[in-house]
Structures are given as structure tokens and as C-alpha cells.
């Protein structure tokens, strides 16, 4: 059975909103977009490339899908190391508002029960599925117990508000630290595996 691995950039106070660009996601009046770029270094870029290139496919929420579909098919030459697998590998999109056919090649809309759809994908042969960004989808999959690993790059930064990966739902979810590294910028790259109860 393949795993579902969530890959996230996160601030020290747990915010995952708009890591890449100032206007990436301004919902809720979020004014700190683009907070992540200054923390990238060679170690973290290699980590990103490794996660993207070793995936068997990607699970994406609507927002991340739309951002990626607008960028990666026409990415510049220096970004092809990421664009090639993102364009070529299967993408499974969780959305109640998008309709097929999806414009980005190798993209399939997940219909109906998201839990059942992801369980079926996990049961299929192949390499692990990676959820990139897509915090709403990750939250749903966490509640359903379908996330096997969290791969987080935690930046040494507090933004004081914004969309967080973990809901204030009172649920107890045990994790086990499987790997950790510190980057030259002071960010921590940590892999947490589901530990059960």
C-alpha cells in the first residue's frame, strides 16, 4: 500500500498560507504572503526536488491546483527539474467546484467521498502520493486518518495569523519524528510519521 505524504512550508506559529508570493492568498486580509522564499537554501531546495521527483502522483486541493496549472506547464528552463514530474505524473484534484475535463494534463477530478477516493488510490500499485500545499485537503485527510507522513519545512518566523495546517478541533493525533535537519537559514526540515494511539 502506498503512503500519502503531505509536503508543507510552515511558519513557527503553524501558518501555511501564501508561502510563495505576496498575492498568492490574501483571504482573511492576510498581508504576509511570500514569507518563505528567504529561507530556501541548497539543502531545502534539494529536499523539495527529492519530494517532487520521488512521488508517484500528487493530491491537490482546488486552490493549489489552479496556481500550479497556471504556472508549471509553461515554467522556465531553470524550473524544469520540478516542472517535468509535476507535468508528467498523475494529479488527483479534490474540488466540489471544478468540472472535468481539467486543463492540466494527467489531472483527474476526485468525485464523491474523498476518503473513499484516497483509500482507493493508496491501495493501488505505485510510488507514494504527495499532497503539496493544499492545507484544506491536508486537514480533511488528517481527520480521516489518511496522512501517513508530514514533511514540514518550518521557517524561523512568526506571522501572527493566517491559515494554519492544524485545526483547533480538540483532536489528539500522535506523531513520531522520523527525520530532521537544520538548514543554513535556520529552518527545520522535519518528517513526522503517524504514530497511532
Classified as helix, coil or strand, 155 is strand
Provide the mean pLDDT of the chain. 95
Contact at 8 Å (CB) between 153 and 39? yes
Of the candidates 108, 105, 136, the residue with the CA atom closest to the CA atom of residue 121: 108
Mean of pLDDT values over 152-165: 96
**What is the secondary structure of 72-122 as a DSSP string?**
GGG--GGGHHHHHHHHHS-EEEE-SS--SSPSSTTEEEE-S-HHHHHHHHH
User: What are residue 181's DSSP bridge partners?
Assistant: 189
Q: Is the pLDDT of residue 197 over 80?
A: no
**DSSP three-state, residue 142:** helix
Give 59-109 pLDDT, tens digit per residue.
Answer: 999 999 999 999 999 999 999 999 999 999 999 999 999 999 999 999 999
pTM of the model: 0.95
CA–CA distance, 79 with 75 (Å, rounded to integer): 6
Question: How many CA atoms within 13 Å lie on the side-chain side of 161?
Answer: 6
Q: Helices (H) and strands (E) in the chain — how many of each?
A: 5, 8
| Domain boundaries along the sequence of the chain | 4-194
Q: For helices 80-88 and 42-53, give the axis angle rounded to 10 degrees.
A: 20
The pLDDT value recorded for residue 129 is 98
Closest CA to 125 of 57, 54, 53: 57
State the CATH class of domain 4-194. Answer: alpha beta
The predicted-structure confidence for 23-73, as pLDDT tens digits, reads as follows: 999 999 999 999 999 999 999 999 999 999 999 999 999 999 999 999 999
Residue pair 11/30 in contact (Cβ under 8 Å)? The answer is: no
In this prediction, residue 172 has a pLDDT band, given cuts at 50, 70 and 90, of confident
- Residue 173 pLDDT: 85
Q: What is the pLDDT of residues 105-154, one digit of tens each?
A: 999 999 889 999 999 999 999 999 999 999 999 999 999 999 999 999 99
Alpha-carbon separation of residue 10 from 31, 63, 122 (angstroms): 16, 17, 25
Amino acid at each position: 500500500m502506498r503512503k500519502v505524504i503531505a509536503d508543507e512550508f510552515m511558519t513557527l506559529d503553524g501558518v501555511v498560507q501564501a508561502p510563495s508570493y505576496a498575492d498568492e492568498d490574501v483571504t482573511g486580509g492576510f498581508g504576509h504572503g511570500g514569507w518563505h522564499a528567504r529561507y530556501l537554501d541548497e539543502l531545502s531546495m534539494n529536499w523539495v526536488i527529492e519530494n517532487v521527483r520521488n512521488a508517484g502522483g500528487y493530491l491537490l486541493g482546488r486552490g493549489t491546483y489552479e496556481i500550479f496549472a497556471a504556472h508549471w506547464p509553461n515554467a522556465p528552463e531553470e524550473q524544469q527539474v520540478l516542472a517535468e514530474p509535476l507535468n508528467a505524473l498523475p494529479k488527483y484534484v479534490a474540488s466540489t467546484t471544478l468540472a472535468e475535463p481539467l486543463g492540466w494534463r494527467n489531472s483527474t477530478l476526485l468525485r464523491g467521498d474523498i476518503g473513499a477516493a484516497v483509500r482507493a488510490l493508496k491501495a493501488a500499485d505505485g510510488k507514494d502520493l504527495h499532497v503539496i500545499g493544499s492545507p484544506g485537503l491536508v486537514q480533511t485527510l488528517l481527520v480521516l486518518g489518511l496522512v501517513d507522513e508530514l514533511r514540514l519545512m518550518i521557517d524561523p518566523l512568526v506571522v501572527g495569523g493566517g491559515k494554519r495546517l492544524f485545526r483547533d478541533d480538540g483532536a489528539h493525533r500522535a506523531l513520531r519524528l522520523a527525520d530532521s535537519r537544520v538548514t543554513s537559514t535556520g529552518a527545520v526540515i522535519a518528517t513526522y510519521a503517524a504514530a497511532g494511539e
